[in-house]
Amino acid sequence: MSPPDPVTEPIRVLIADDEALVRGGFRVLIETEPGMIVVGEAGDGATAVDLARQTHPDVVLMDIRMPGVDGLRATHQIAADPDLTDVHVLILTTFDHDEYVIEALGAGAAGFLIKNTEPRQLLHGIRVVAGGEALLSPGLTRRLIAQLTSRATTPRLNNNAFAQLTTRERQIVGLVARGLSNNEIATDLTISHATAKTHVSRAMTKLGARDRAQLVALAYQHRLVEPPDPTP
């Protein structure tokens, strides 16, 4: 008899939104999706940070505008907590202004989605972010990269930092900056997913990038790749 399939842990999600109806809708969507569970709900940023520390979710769905501590401050606190390095914040908001996106990424968010996103796209976004990848669409990159790369939240590096990268790592960083996932990089370079993931992780470590979003910013800021045309 064949051995049983290995048990895959469900993706643990924390929902932070000041509207109970919105939280309820997200909870129903997530808990009816195989492989996902909701571990808590928060109506403000301070509660979201506390619950993140208590429950250690894989993903926090974080609204930006909440009373008291808003989503941006809460995201910064989560990203700055060394005990929450495996917690990924996915910003969900009704506001799609560039400034909000830039601040969210600068605060440590791993991705950004608008609340009217299709349910399947939201669930896909949760999986992408839970897997440690950034949720940055090519269209979003075109609009934001000129501003993102000039922000103080993206540290300037000297040439020695990039000299540490191997030729393959520089190539892969360029592909990450163009919005490719680990699977897409593996396909493009005819390597395994595990190898692609390892190269990305090593490049992040060598450059001191907190996450893939910051790795993208560093790549464009230091002209490892040329910024795309800002027009759609």
Q: Which of 93, 110, 135 is the last residue of a domain?
A: 135
| Cα gap 129→152, rounded to integer Å | 24
User: Mean pLDDT score of the chain, rounded to an integer?
Assistant: 80
The answer as to whether 94 is a domain residue is: yes
Q: Which of 135, 163, 194 is the last residue of a domain?
A: 135
| Residue 154 structural domain | 148-221
0.75 exceeded by pTM: no
Residues of the chain with pLDDT > 70: what percent? 76
User: The domain spanning residue 61 has which CATH number?
Assistant: 3.40.50.2300
- Mean pLDDT on 148-163: 57
The answer as to whether 68 is a domain residue is: yes
| Cα gap 21→41, rounded to integer Å | 12
Do residues 15 and 130 both lie within one domain? Answer: yes
Read off the pLDDT of residues 1-40 as tens digits, 9 standing for 90 and up. Answer: 444 444 478 999 999 999 999 999 999 999 999 999 999 9
The answer as to whether 195 is a domain residue is: yes
The answer as to whether 1 is a domain residue is: no
Alpha helix (H) ranges present in the chain? 20-31, 45-55, 71-80, 98-107, 119-130, 138-148, 159-163, 167-177, 182-189, 193-207, 212-221
Look at the chain and report how many structural domains it folds into. Answer: 2
Question: What pLDDT is stored for residue 178 in this prediction?
Answer: 75
